[in-house]
């Protein structure tokens, strides 16, 4: 449970009309549903959300991709190209608090379902548009997919091996970031409506969300004039901070300050590095990255990952192995923080229960009162 007081959730009683599909929008509305909102997902008759057919893998007839971001939702099929379907959506919007859509700008407006149209029947509505590139500008009429927005935003330019090609991140980080920005904006919109009594139009898009997530890489360029590059698992401004190959896997280790670097050298039994003038500060370690990493890499390769885990235990150094999915969900700490939930399945599939990544990564706990 997200809240341990009387099983009350923050968004109990809030109704969401969800006209989104694929990932960014469904991820946003799923998070709202996890907080107690009633989410009504509107899909195309006969086809549904595009991701229903994205696979394998499937569980029975259900795509695991679709299942990953569509829990806690009610689904209805409405043909919004039909005037009767438009009227159904308008009637639903009138009794909902939030309207979320991810159509190309102008598409819903043509159908009579734009913000101005919906606000006429629901002046209280928090209307969130999620697009690829925003409502205006030369790219605004393009469809938006995660990988393309990741490329245009520069994320793929900085992702991948130092001497290799750009790489798409292993999960759709641009979509997920946009979903989280949208979720936060909707929560803020509900709070603003509480204060003003009026609805509003929220504009979220993949490109802006990912550019915002460039953080220090963007500022390095905008203020420092430094073009970004790919570093593999390493960090452009911190050394050491990367994955090192061991005898049987990889270990990621980071030294964010001088004391941590000294501790790492002691654990690796490389005391000469501690007083080496080339490595006295992080700035110097960055300047002499190649020589230092060569020495550290050779030492890490001498032992098994498990040996290093034991040696680093209790040291205060940030460290950890690179885990497979099997290892992730067998990791004791992952099990301890309870990220998995089991839900009942109402479809005709081989299992009557499914496991999901848990309802919400941040637990909301009420105050503890003594009797």
Strand-pairing partners, residue 319, are 253
Q: Are 133 and 205 in contact (CB under 8 A)?
A: yes
Give the separation between CA 78 and CA 17, rounded to whole angstroms.
12
Active-site residue, selected from the candidate residues 18, 97, 146, 175: 175
User: CA 258, CA 291: separation in Å to the nearest integer?
Assistant: 18
Q: How many other CB atoms are found less than 10 A from the CB of residue 35?
A: 19
Q: Which two tokens stand for residue 181?
A: 């920005």
Q: Tell me the β-bridge partners of 250.
A: 245
Rounded to the nearest 10°, the torsion over CA 17, 19, 23, 25 is: -50
3-state secondary structure of 38: strand
Q: Which of 198, 202, 18 is nearest to 123 (CA)?
A: 198
Put residue 158 in one of left, alpha, beta given phi > 0 → left and psi -120 to 50 → alpha: alpha
Strands 126-131 and 98-101: parallel
Q: What's the token pair of residue 20?
A: 């989104």
Active-site residue flag, 34: no
Catalytic residue set: 175
């Amino acid at each position: 449970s997200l809240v341990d007081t009387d099983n009350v959730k923050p968004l109990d009683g809030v109704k969401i009309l969800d006209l989104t599909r694929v990932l960014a929008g469904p991820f946003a509305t799923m998070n709202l549903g996890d907080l107690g909102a009633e989410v009504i997902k509107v899909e195309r008759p006969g086809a549904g959300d595009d991701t229903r057919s994205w696979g394998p893998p499937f569980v029975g007839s259900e795509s695991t991709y679709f299942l990953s971001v569509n829990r806690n939702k009610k689904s209805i099929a409405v043909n919004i190209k039909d005037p009767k379907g438009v009227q159904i959506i308008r009637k639903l919007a009138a009794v909902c608090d939030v309207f979320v859509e991810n159509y190309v700008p102008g598409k819903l407006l043509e159908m009579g379902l734009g913000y101005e149209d919906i606000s006429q029947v629901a002046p209280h509505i928090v209307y969130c548009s999620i697009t690829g590139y925003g409502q205006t500008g030369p790219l605004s009429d393009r469809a938006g997919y995660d990988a393309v927005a990741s490329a245009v935003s520069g994320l793929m330019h900085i992702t991948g091996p130092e001497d290799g090609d750009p790489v798409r991140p292993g999960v759709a980080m641009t979509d997920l970031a946009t979903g989280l920005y949208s979720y936060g904006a909707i929560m803020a919109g509900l709070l603003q409506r509480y204060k003003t009594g009026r609805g509003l139009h929220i504009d979220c898009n993949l490109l802006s969300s990912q550019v915002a997530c460039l953080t220090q890489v963007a500022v390095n360029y905008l203020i420092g004039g430094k073009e970004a590059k790919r570093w593999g698992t390493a960090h452009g401004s911190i050394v050491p901070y990367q994955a090192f190959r061991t005898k049987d896997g990889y270990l990621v280790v980071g030294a964010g300050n001088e004391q941590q670097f000294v501790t790492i050298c002691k654990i690796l039994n490389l005391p000469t590095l501690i007083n080496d003038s080339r490595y006295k500060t992080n700035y110097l370690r960055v300047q002499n990255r190649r020589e230092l990493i060569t020495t550290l890499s050779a030492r890490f390769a001498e032992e098994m990952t498990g040996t290093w885990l034991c040696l680093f235990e209790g040291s205060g150094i940030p460290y950890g192995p690179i885990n497979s999915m099997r290892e992730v969900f067998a990791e004791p700490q992952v099990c301890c923080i309870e990220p998995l939930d089991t839900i009942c399945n109402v479809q005709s599939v081989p299992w009557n229960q499914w496991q999901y990544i848990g309802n919400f990564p941040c637990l909301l706990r009420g105050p503890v009162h003594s009797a």
